[in-house]
Amino acid sequence: MKVKQHIKAVVLATALAASATVASAQDKEPIRFGLCFDLSKSYTFISPQVAQAAQDLAMYTNENGGIEGHPVEVIIRDHGNEPQRGVECYEQLKREGVFLFNFLSTPVTNAVLPRAMKDGNVLMQSFVGRGDAVDGEVFEWVFPVGPTYWQQAANDVAFIKGQMGGDLSKAKIGFIYLDYPFGQEPIEILKTLSEKEGFELELYPVPLPGSDQAGAWSKIRRDKPDYVISWLLAGGHVVASKEMRRNRFPIDRYLSVNWLNEVDIANIGAEEAKGILRGTNVAGGQEVPIVKTMLDTYYANGKGSGPESLVRDVYYNTGMAIYSAGFEAARIAITENGWPITPETMKNAFESIENFDGNGIMAPVTVTDKDHGGGGKTRVEQWNGETWVPLTDWSADYLDVVWDVIKHSSATFTVE
């Protein structure tokens, strides 16, 4: 009974007051989301899951009356992680009337960003692209709903502080990272916090693609940090787990960036990975109402938009979170300003998302015209051998420190 109630709540959340217009939903003009993803090169570890989540959510929304009566159309294209093809995809979909874009690739998002800013099209870029894009005053059209890497790192430090009894002055925190912009991003914030909180910070750079970490971990064994915060990707975690075993570093002191999923866990070994920590703004596991609904409604009948294995992956939840927020914004745009939705009304709608958590799929976000990230709340989840168990509540800490960095960085963006 409880599950059913949840299902109903989700339906209502996405299709409020739609009952009268259910019949005509399919006749009305669609709301179109452009997904130019890398489905064939570097980001294939996440993009299929996100695309599938978007398709499922669109299908579910449409079958339940659409968004205020308007069906959702999800257009998926491949750009192969090549900036040139991303631009081509953007230009093509733009001409077909799409103004809501997501590229899910840092190089491509960066390449398209100036165009989207100039044309005034909404760029959804959760988890990818420039971190300072959460500064809504500079990046008016960019909506990276979710935490920046800076905020994630700050929240990780706050979590460690909590674990160590509220005092970091005697703590030693290690930071292992891929030595390129993705991994280097949190260093500045960690250094600032290390001065502020008085903990000792040790940096362990790992060369791309992260398969050689032997040197870093033998240093970690000597340094004996209390916790290791990890900015590695995919296979990097697997290598790290092997090194942890070899160097007798407890895996429950390994706090990963949000890029750690069930595939990595399976590669480490579900039992072996027991205790591994992950900072995230997306609730993991299949017990989340919207994911459970998808499994029951579609995958139980073999009607999902793709293989069920992809649903049992935290990146599917990530996709759900991204598009729940997107659909919510579309809903607000129509209720506030009516049809047709334009880039402007969509932008305003995004900026009036308030305390929205997609029925438990993600940290509650409140997007404003100043903060396009929505508050940057995350929590730490632990793998218990079968699923993700949250250890803390959603929270965002050291906001002032993080925003200093954001403002400092975004100030260098504008020219002429």
Partner 1 sequence: MFYRLSGVHHANYVSDSRIFKVPADRNLTAFIFLIGLAAPFIIPSLYLNSYMLPWLIWTAAALGLNLVTGWAGQLHLGYAAVMAVGAYSSIHAARFGVPWEFALIIGGLTSSVIGSLFAFAALRVKGLYLALTTLAMQFVMDWVLTHSPAISGGSHASLQSPTLALLGQEITTDTGFYYVAFGWCVLVTIFMLNLKRTGLGRALVAVREKDFAAAILGVNSFYYKILAFATSSFIAGVSGALLVATFFFLAAPEQFSVAVSIQVLAMVIVGGLGSIIGSYFGVALILLVPGIVNGLVVTLSDGLGMQIDVETLAHIPNAVYGALIVIILLIEPLGLGKLYGNIRDYLMVWPFDQFKK
Q: How far apart are the first and last CA of the chain?
A: 59
32 near partner 1 (CB under 8 A) = no
Q: Which of 53, 57, 72, 76 binds partner 1 (CB under 8 A)?
A: 76
Q: Which three-class secondary structure string do you get for 164-217?
A: CCCCCCCCEEEEEEECCHHHHCCHHHHHHHHHHHCCEEEEEEECCCCCCCHHHH
Instruction: Judge whether 234 and 352 are in contact, CB under 8 Å.
Output: no
- Shortest distance in whole angstroms from residue 51 CB to partner 1: 5
Counting every residue written for the chain, the total comes to: 416
388 near partner 1 (CB under 8 A) = no
Residue with tokens 């927020």: 325
- Shortest distance in whole angstroms from residue 43 CB to partner 1: 11
309 near partner 1 (CB under 8 A) = no
Instruction: Judge whether 312 and 286 are in contact, CB under 8 Å.
Output: yes
The strand pair at 379-383 and 388-390 is best described as antiparallel
137 near partner 1 (CB under 8 A) = no
Beta-bridge mates of residue 102: 35, 124
The interface with partner 1 within residues 227-286 (CB under 8 A) comprises none
The interface with partner 1 within residues 341-360 (CB under 8 A) comprises none
- Shortest distance in whole angstroms from residue 39 CB to partner 1: 4
Q: Which of 169, 301, 355, 412 binds partner 1 (CB under 8 A)?
A: 412
212 near partner 1 (CB under 8 A) = no
Q: What is the DSSP string of 216-280?
A: HHHHHHHH--SEEEEE--THHHHHHHHHHHHTT--GGGEEE-S---HHHHHHH-TTTTTT-EEEE
Q: Which of 3, 16, 23, 181 binds partner 1 (CB under 8 A)?
A: 181
Could you tell me which stretch among 109-117, 164-172, 313-321, 341-349 binds partner 1 (CB under 8 A)? Answer: 109-117
Q: Which of 100, 111, 124, 201 binds partner 1 (CB under 8 A)?
A: 111
Q: Which is nearer to partner 1, 80 or 385 (CB)?
A: 80
202 near partner 1 (CB under 8 A) = no
- Shortest distance in whole angstroms from residue 258 CB to partner 1: 16
Tokens coding 123 = 């760029």
136 near partner 1 (CB under 8 A) = no
Nearest to 335 by CA among 17, 12, 8, 121: 17
Q: Which of 2, 20, 95, 166 binds partner 1 (CB under 8 A)?
A: 95
Q: Which is nearer to partner 1, 135 or 328 (CB)?
A: 135
Render the burial of 287-314: b for 16+ CB within 10 Å, e for the rest: ebbbbbbbbebbbeeeebbbeeebbbbb
371 near partner 1 (CB under 8 A) = no
Collapsing DSSP to helix, strand or coil, 71 comes out as coil
- Shortest distance in whole angstroms from residue 309 CB to partner 1: 12
Instruction: Judge whether 325 and 365 are in contact, CB under 8 Å.
Output: yes
- Shortest distance in whole angstroms from residue 305 CB to partner 1: 8
The set of residues, in sequence order, having a beta carbon less than 8 Å from that of 135 and lying 6+ positions away, is 370, 371, 372, 406, 407, 410
Q: Which of 162, 209, 275, 306 binds partner 1 (CB under 8 A)?
A: 306
Give me Rg for the CA atoms of the chain. Answer: 21
179 near partner 1 (CB under 8 A) = yes
Which residues here bind partner 1, judged by CB under 8 A?
37, 39-40, 44, 48, 51-52, 55, 76-78, 80, 82-85, 87-88, 91-92, 95, 106-107, 110-111, 113-115, 118, 129-132, 179-182, 184-185, 305-306, 409-410, 412-416
